[in-house]
Structure 1
Amino acid sequence: MWDGDGAWDGDGVGKEVLMIKRIAAVAAALLLSLACMVFAVLGGGVAQLPSGELRSAYPGYDQVASWNFMAGQYRSLRDAGKNPRLVFGSSELKSKTAGAAHPGRLFADGRYGETSVIAGRAGVNDLWQAIEVGAFAPEMPRGDRRAVIFVSMQWFMCYRDPSSTFPGVFSQGAYDAFMGNEAISDDVKSRVAERVRAYGVPDAEVSGEGPLVQAIGGIDRAASSLASDVRLAASLRWKD
């Protein structure tokens, strides 16, 4: 209970304790960042991998959550002149048990004149796809910014719980690229940020937060993103 003097009583946590916890969290994030930076210098992150490593017919959870991986495979195909098409969806994009007409096979590596980049996984929802489309838009050629989006029936089920699935596929890099897209209005960015937070990613930037909170959140996001990038790069580099 609030006692009116700027502190909590025995049932709560004092401001001093909260500040200590914040400082400890920042220190831990800085140490993690330093460790990841050392490892990245020695082995490199996803961005330093050969383009051949950045390809997946059905990306894993760590891959859809990595902007460096998703954008990297798109850029490598685009730069090779293959004009890749983005195909967004969720678990229906898995082609292992499907036939030859499945998009993951039909449009694989130019087999039938088109090359696709499959973007999605079980648990991916319309918010994730909106962020990815906004992030990819500047990468796509002017006059031909088109993408395929599969509307998943799970989006409309009464049991859906985005807050339990969205954090696992959230891509900080894609979110940052989305926010950096000047063609997207501030109003849309604000609404997306609020929805991201409502879906269980509490450190997404939302207008109105103080500079200290934003700074701490920024450090935490950077450390977490770097750690994930280094882990994914290591798994791709050593997969054979």
Structure 2
Amino acid sequence: MQVADQIKDWVVEQGLRMGDRLPGEAEMIARFGMSKGTIREAMRILEAQGLVKTRTGPGGGSFVHEVSGERARALLGNYFYFRDLTLKDIYQLRRLLEPELAASLAGRLDAAQLAALDQVIATYAMPSRSPEEEREQQVQSLRFHQHLAEYAENELLGFIIGFMAQILSDLTVYRRLYEPVNHELWARGRAYHVELVAALRAGDGPRARQVMGDHMATAEALMEGQEELMLKRFLSA
């Protein structure tokens, strides 16, 4: 692990970027003064972390690789997998961060980005008729928030919000919070999304912040109601 950290530090010091070739094994052994086995294990650690990619054959070797946002969220999701995250935990962050993201995006999104948000909203234009449709609509509604996160100028803010949307989507599915069908959750959520896009298109930051804040408060209350219904079903089964 220490050698893996040293290699990472060296990559940064050298200003290497994604796709740049790393030195061969013999040069690594000489540079870091470690045995072949230690260097190989360090490289395996970096590959497992997604920071190094190895290719075989002509032109092969080890190359600097960039961890994708999707992989980073998956790894972070694994960290929380066995922890008892609650809806309150998630919405505590969402209430703080998402209104500020919405305000920062007002008047800054181009026509294609606004159209992409409209297209997501169109996927839940009508109330669901079954738990399966309800599940898909809830997942799509959270995808709306993931799109907003992708548009953030502040990459850290966008990553955290995108991760919150993803973990809430996963929690909704495995805790079956889409049962029973909740038309109020659909109607109010969709209305907030439509209103938010209008504020973003108009460049009205304060309005976008207010709409998102109201949306988060309403969504938290309704989702907690869904969770309570599921718990009652479980206890009475």
Same fold (TM over 0.5): no
Q: Name the structure with the higher helix share.
A: 2
TM-score grouping bracket, smaller chain normalisation: under 0.3
Relative contact order, CA 8 A, sep 6+: which one is greater? 1
